[in-house]
Structures are given as structure tokens and as C-alpha cells.
Structure 1
């Protein structure tokens, strides 16, 4: 069967790889029963590219202009060694300005500049290469660019920096770690999460800082964007709590109040506020523990399964069909909330409505929402639910109570319609 990594690589094939992030972890935790998303995320599959191959391209996404604006806003907040960020921490946390005015500012993004010459062979800036030098042996411009550290190296840097600032913490200093990398176990695979920043031991606690470019108008933000930011921040806090506990400092050193930095009104001026994510943190932790282990999910899949058939490009109409068949072999748990969280939602919705997975006629109950799916218990098909309501079929073992409720509801509906006529 091969190792877990080799099987995940086989599933991905030549599809672009995407790492887990706080958004994908939060979306997976919101629908822990979806084996399809669990497998896709564990394999690092670019679901946007896969959705296009399936003929159901993503119909939402952040514009390039918004992404550029977000990067510029974050750079503005962190400029000059985080001077403005320190002022925002003072504003949001209500601590004396002196408590956050000083302290280390460490960039953990992971770039290591390479020396342009060998040690001891210094040259003057702009000096020409020696005559007769072989250009093929000279370092190219690309080779001289700073190299990015690997994820495990960045995790090690984060661990060392966090351990150091916690050991050396004083009440009159505030160390800021810029773009740390936090590991988190998700269903048996390791995810790497990168919060915007961490402020270390302000008022005795570690605080996650989230910088968002959406606006706060008259003291209020868009509820949907605020809820999404809270769910993502909860993933960061959970990972940071695990890391702090692993370093021997305990989970309580991490605050559940996240510092949320946004733009004020219609300007580009930042403002900060505390976001209490205790509820989101508890929900995320509970849902992540409910996720099926990736090894168990892979064990139920056909051997040799791949979401990237090698000859799909040469198969014409059969190519997308082969991809649809491969994706359809992994069970999904579609609900309407998936439309705002998963790139495959439009394909899964079409599949659920048509019951292409062999669930019967009428579509899947999940298309009606989580509330109705919960009320109907283990009944998956709308057609079967209607048959139970009309008495067209006998309830299976364990369905007696819900069948009685459905028949009662159908009788009341008939009475109302008759009265209306």
C-alpha cells in the first residue's frame, strides 16, 4: 500500500501543492465529517485547480488588488521595527505605554542572505570579473538571492525565539515575533501555520496579533469577516498553546484575547481591538479531535487512486470524467456553508443534488442545511425522507421515531392545505 506520504503524493500527482493554513484548518474543523476535504487537505492539493478540471470553477476569491492592499497595510503596521504595532498594543491591551515601548523585534520569515563571494575573497562594489573567468562557474543573480528556510527550520527558529523571550521576559519589555511558524497536528498530518505576529508577555500573557485590511466603520466590522477572523485566530492560538506547553510553559501563558488590527473607517490608518475567541477555540479543539485519522481515510480508498490521471489531457471529454470518478470515490459531506469555505463546494453541491454517489433520488439531506440534516438523524436522502413521510416505505431499525415525526408533519401539512382551499 505504501507509506502515508507516498499515497498522498500519488493522490496529488502533478496538481499544484498547497500547504495547510489557518483558513483551511478552520474550514476542515467546521465540517469534520467530510472525508473528501480531509484527504484533499492532507495531500496538499490545490482545490482551485482541481475544481476547474472538474468543470465547477471557484466563483469567489480575493482580488489581486485586495491582496496587494493587505500586504501593504501589514507592512505599514510593522514598519520601523514594529513601532506602530507597539502603539496599537498599548491601545488594545490597556497597558502602560512603557510596557510595550521596548523589546526585541525578530523577523522569523526565514530568509538567509547568501554571501556574494567566498570568505576572504572580498571585491569592491561594481568590480568586473577577472579576465578569463568562466561565466558558467560564476554565481548567477538567482543563486545570489536570499534563500528561504525550510518549514522545519523555521519551526526550530520559532521554538528557540519563543523559549528565549519567555525565559527573559520582564514586565517592562515586549518582544514581538514577526511571522513565526507554528506546527499543529491535524488528523495525523502536520500543518504549518503562520500568524502575522506574536507579542510576547504583555501583561504576563502571549498574544496573537492578526492584521486584516478590512475596515472598521464607526467602531463595527462586517460580522462575516469578523467571524472568519475569529475562527482563524482560534487555530493560531490552539497551535501556540500546544507549542508553549511543549516548551514547558503551560497553555495558560497564551491569551485567548487576540489583538485584531484593522483599517479605521475609510482611511488606511490602523486601529486595534481585542477579540475574545474562547468559544471558537473550544469548538475548534473539539472538532479537530473528531477528525478521522488520515491513515484510516486512506485505508478505505482504492489502491492506485489519483486525482490527477496522467493521460487526462489526452482523453478529451474522458479526462474530466476520469477526474470526477476519482473525486467521487471519496465520500463528501456537503452542506450549504461549504460554499463560503471550500473550493470544491460547487462540484459537491451538484453531486449531492443529483445523488451521483448512489444515494437514491431527490438529492441529499445535507443540501438543505446542517439543521435539517441533524433533525433527520441518519436519513441521507430527501427522497427516502419523503417516502417515510407519505408512508410509501417502512422505517428501518432506528428510524421509527423520525418516521413518526415525518408522518405527523405531513398530516399537518395536508390539513393546512385543505383548510386553505
Structure 2
């Protein structure tokens, strides 16, 4: 009689093991940051990005392996300049940074002194750092004193998986308010920053605010400000200046969009066994793996997603209407391809479809307008031409 126990049914694969298999056995997980979360929230219908980001897949390496490398990113010079400016702003115990916070958002409180608190947030691993940050926020709120948290670690659950975020700084006011500070190296000319860059900073700050609200919800007297402080170089100098960002709209939109994201385990459960996004695999296998997950490409993805060029190529090949933009795709309704929209404009749309009828009327009006314009542009006959 055998002394070995019966083997029994195979044990189910845990979610962590499944995500590790998707990344590849030798590929470490790539952590989510606020920039990626803001882009993910802007396109919650893209299951491809939700799964890849949730699994920690390196989309930059994946895009290169697919033959469509990402063509955006920050240069090394810009990173060095940004780090140098941030060090200048936080120098001398954060005195200049606290002065800017008090000047713009510290009404009713005494000005911070050089003795402001700057707690040590060092700990082992992102989980340890997040726990240490939560403790520092609790202690600073109880102390009722100006406190600067330099690069705290915040945790936020996204699509069923934890994401660890690291803002540039969080300032605790004496009245218990917590303010997110974003330090950027692009200039603020005459007190105004570039609208697109300031908007991106506001969306990132909104993600940090959502993570801070989870901590503040269990503390008495703690509130998270829905106004962030953007610190940039003044004009063309290296002197810091600041502006207040009202992020109430970005915060509500981001919270709503993140809540709409499909959970990672649901997306992973729909994939066949053995599928992997390991960049070391052949391009043909990777293409099949990527195409197994639904995407929602739009031209806006080109500025925020490493796989945008690959998705654009596939979207164009499929004649998808989404390649024309989210607003146009939304207006076309059931017409999901460019060919279907052109056919509707030519009068071959489905009877009773209001979108097809509207396209047909618009095409007729355009043709009539072009015909009228062509008649008006014809040269006058010589008999009635102006003698001058």
C-alpha cells in the first residue's frame, strides 16, 4: 500500500501567480504611478490598459517587442533639471516650500518657522513606507503644527489591485488640513503655467487626494484640501513661484472613472491559460496576446500610453471609428466603422437609424454648398466682365 497521499484536484492559481505568469517569469512588476492612473481614469473602457497596468507589465518593453516603440518620455536633461529644481524648493528644511504654501493656502494660520516638522518616512518596501506615511500624517495632525512630508508613499486600490503613489510633497497645516504639492520644472510665465501641463498636474494631484482621503477618513480632525499647490520656476529664472490648482472637478471625475474600471481578476479570468506578455516572447505571440484583450483606442492615447502606436495601427486596420476621436465615436452611435459612416452618408444606412439619416442630410447639404460655391467661383463671361 502506497504511503503517499492522494494527489487530489489541482489547486487553483492565485491572482498574484496569474499576474506573474502574464508578465513573464523573470519580469518584475512595474508599479503604477499617478501619471498612469490619471491616464487610466481618462479611458476606463480600455480593458487592455487596465489589465496590463494591474498586472505590472512593462508596456514600454512590450511596445518595443511588438515593433511599435513609444515615442514619448522625459529626457535625461529634463529629469536632471527637475530634480535640481525640486531640491532647491525643498532646501533648508523646506522653508521656501512652506512659505509658498502659507502665502497661497495658509490664510488664518501663523507663518511656518524654521522649526517646522519634517518626519523621516523611511521604511522597508512600499507597504512599509505607506504605513509609515499614515503614521506620520496621524502624528502631524495631532501635533497641530506645520509639517512637510517629503515624498510620502500613499496606497490606493485600483481595479482590485493596490497601487502605491509617491507625490512630491504633502503639507499638513496646523488646522489639520492636508495639501498636495506638485513641483514641476516647466516655467510659470507671468504667473500662468502652460494649460495642458497644469491640467496634467491637476489630474495627478486628484489621484493623490483620493489616496489621502482613505487615510483621513479614519482620523479625527483631518481633512484633505481639494486645492493643490503647483510650484514652478518663475518666468525664465530658477526662482520658485506657485499657483493654486482647483482640483474638485478632476477629483470627482477620476473617482468616478476609477470606480468604473473592470477588476483585474475578471479580465485575467477571461484569458486562455498560457497567455503571456513577456517581452522575450516572439512578436507574433505577443501580438496575439495583446489582441486577446479588448482596447478602446483614441488619438488622445498617443500622449499617455506606451502601446498607443500599436493600438492605432490595429484600429486603422480594422477601420474603427474610434481612431477619429472619442467625441466622433460617441456621435456615430451604432456606426462603429468609418466605412459604415461613409455608407450612411451616401444613403446606404439602416432605415430608421437617426445617426445614418443625420449623416445623409449633412452629406447632401455639403454637396449643395460645394456646388453653389463652384458656381460662384466661375469667371464671368467676357460680355459682362468688368472693363476695369
TM-score tier (shorter): 0.7 to 0.9
Over the aligned positions, Cα root-mean-square deviation in angstroms equals 1.9
1:254 pairs with one of 186, 211, 224: 224
What is the 5 A alignment of 1:194-343? 194-247=166-219, 249=221, 253-308=223-278, 312=281, 319-343=282-306
1:55-66 matches, within 5 Å, as 55-66=67-78
Instruction: Provide TM-score, normalisation by structure 1.
Output: 0.81
Partner of 2:141: 166
2-structure distance, mates of 1:109, 1:229: 25
The aligned residue for residue 412 of structure 1 is 365
Q: CA deviation at 1:246?
A: 3.5
**Alpha-carbon distance, 1:342 to partner:** 0.6
Cα shift readout 1:268-290 (whole Å, capped 9, x = no counterpart): 11112211111111111111111
Residue 14 (structure 2) pairs with residue 3 (structure 1): yes
Post-superposition Cα deviations, 1:108-132, rounded to whole Å, max 9, x if no partner, equal: 244xxxxxxxxxxxxxxxxxxxxxx
Q: Does the aligned pair in 1 maintain the 2:63–2:307 contact within 8 Å? A: yes
1:46 to 1:184, Cα distance in 2 relative to 1, 3 A: same
TM-score of the two chains, using structure 2 as the length reference: 0.88
Q: What is the aligned partner in structure 2 of residue 25 from structure 1?
A: 37
* Cα separation, 1, equivalents of 2:279 and 2:170: 43
Equivalent in 116, 121, 127 of residue 103 of structure 1: 116
Matched with 2:343 is 387
Tell me, yes or no, if the aligned pair for 1:105 and 1:175 is still in contact at 8 Å. Answer: yes
CA contact (8 A) 1:184 1:190 kept: yes
Q: CA shift at 1:94, angstroms?
A: 4.7
**Unaligned residue ranges in structure 1 (runs of 5+):** 111-148, 313-318, 356-362
Separation in structure 1 between the aligned mates of residue 150 and residue 307 of structure 2, nearest angstrom: 33
Check whether the contact 1:89–1:100 (CA below 8 A) recurs between aligned residues.
no
Residue 52 of structure 1, aligned match among 61, 64, 76: 64
> Structure 1, residues 4-29: CA drift from partner, whole Å, max 9, x if none?
21111111114453200000000000
Runs of 4+ in structure 1 deviating by more than 4 angstroms, as ranges, are none
Look up the SS of the partner of 1:307 in the other structure: coil
| 2:6 matched residue in structure 1 | none
How many equivalent pairs are there? 361
2:131 alignment partner in structure 1: 156
8 A Cα contact 1:91 1:272, kept in partner: no
SS of the equivalent of 1:106 reads coil
Aligned counterpart, 1:181: 153
Residue 344 of structure 1 is matched in structure 2 by 307
